[in-house]
């Protein structure tokens, strides 16, 4: 009888729902272990029947601080980590291109220590 109760208790437990995943662009890395990811979607305007681009910012946890501004990342929904942070960086899909520093007035590249 004891094992019968355990089986019904485990089967009565609600199924854990799949967590959402989104792909977006890192727009800010100014916080420790956190990044702002902008996710853009296209939706049909209800009145004008035209495709409109919508974007939304998500705060995501970046444990290893491996994301840079301009990277394309995949984020997954998670438990609340802070007041606004409910997402976690799962994968860096594409790294942002490294740009050379702007040249000074004489055309020489500016060293990074002076910038």
Q: Residue 75 maps to which CATH number?
A: 2.40.50.140
Q: Quick check: is 113 in a domain?
A: no
pTM given for the model: 0.72
Residue the block writes with tokens 């990044």: 35
**Region class of 11: left (phi > 0), else alpha (psi between -120 and 50), else beta:** alpha
Q: Which two tokens stand for residue 94?
A: 């594409």
Per-residue pLDDT tens digits for 85-110: 999 999 999 999 887 666 666 766 66
Tell me the residue length of the chain: 115
Q: Quick check: is 99 in a domain?
A: no
Q: Quick check: is 39 in a domain?
A: yes
The yes-or-no verdict on residue 14 having pLDDT over 90 is no
- Domain hosting 67: range is 19-94
Per-residue pLDDT tens digits for 23-77: 999 999 999 999 999 999 999 999 999 999 999 999 999 999 999 999 999 999 9
Q: What residues have CB less than 8 Å from 82, skipping those under 6 apart?
A: 59
Looking at the chain, the whole-number percentage of residues with pLDDT higher than 70 is 74
Contact 3, 10 (CB under 8 A): no
Looking at residue 6, what is its pLDDT? 58
- Based on the structure, what is the number of domains in the chain? 1
Q: Quick check: is 31 in a domain?
A: yes
The yes-or-no verdict on residue 10 having pLDDT over 70 is no
Closest CA to 34 of 73, 85, 69: 85
Q: Quick check: is 3 in a domain?
A: no
Q: Quick check: is 36 in a domain?
A: yes
For residue 113, what pLDDT band results from cuts at 50, 70 and 90?
low
Q: Quick check: is 109 in a domain?
A: no
Looking at residue 98, what is its pLDDT? 80
- 49: DSSP letter: -
Looking at residue 54, what is its pLDDT? 97
Q: Quick check: is 5 in a domain?
A: no
Sign of the torsion angle spanned by Cα atoms 74, 77, 79, 81: positive
């Amino acid at each position: 009888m004891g094992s019968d109760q355990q089986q019904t208790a485990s089967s009565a437990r609600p199924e854990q729902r799949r967590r959402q995943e989104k792909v977006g662009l890192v727009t800010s890395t100014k916080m420790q272990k956190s990044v702002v990811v902008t996710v853009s979607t296209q939706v049909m305007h209800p009145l004008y029947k035209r495709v409109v681009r919508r974007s939304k910012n998500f705060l995501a946890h970046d444990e290893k601080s491996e994301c840079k501004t301009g990277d394309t990342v995949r984020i997954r929904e998670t438990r609340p980590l802070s007041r606004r942070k409910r997402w976690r960086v799962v994968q860096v899909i594409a790294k942002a291109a490294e740009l050379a520093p702007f040249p000074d007035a004489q055309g020489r590249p500016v060293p990074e220590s002076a910038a």
